[in-house]
Amino acid sequence: MYKANITVTLRSSILDPQGKASEHALSQLGFDSISQVRIGKYVEMDIVAESLGDAREIAESACAKLLANSVMEDYHITLNEVVAA
């Protein structure tokens, strides 16, 4: 079994109003050294697969078909094998 950690973010060319609002609020709270705030999604899932390659293929397919909008978002997948105790 594998644990997939997936981060989905808006592409850098896409305006992120939630990130901009958060950046402004952080500035108002005195965090003047923070800039370029972007808000995204984080997804964790367990994948039962024979190999790391199969698990990656399943995670990629899930992102392409449901979890990420391929027109506006990018995603990054990290996979770790879960060893049974």
Phi-psi region of 29 (alpha: psi -120 to 50; beta: other; left: phi over 0): alpha
DSSP states of 12-55 as a string? TTS--HHHHHHHHHHHHTT-TT------EEEEEEEE--SSHHHH
Q: List, in sequence order, every residue forming a beta bridge with 4; answer none if it has no partner.
A: 45, 79
Tell me: pLDDT of 84 over 90: no
Helix (H) or strand (E) holding 81: strand 73-81
For residue 17, is pLDDT > 80?
yes
pTM of the predicted structure, to 2 decimals: 0.82
Residues 7 and 54: beta-carbon distance below 8 Å: no
Q: What domains are defined for the chain? A: 2-81 (3.30.1280.10)
Convert the pLDDT of each residue in 19-59 to its tens digit. 999 999 999 999 999 999 999 999 999 999 999 999 999 99
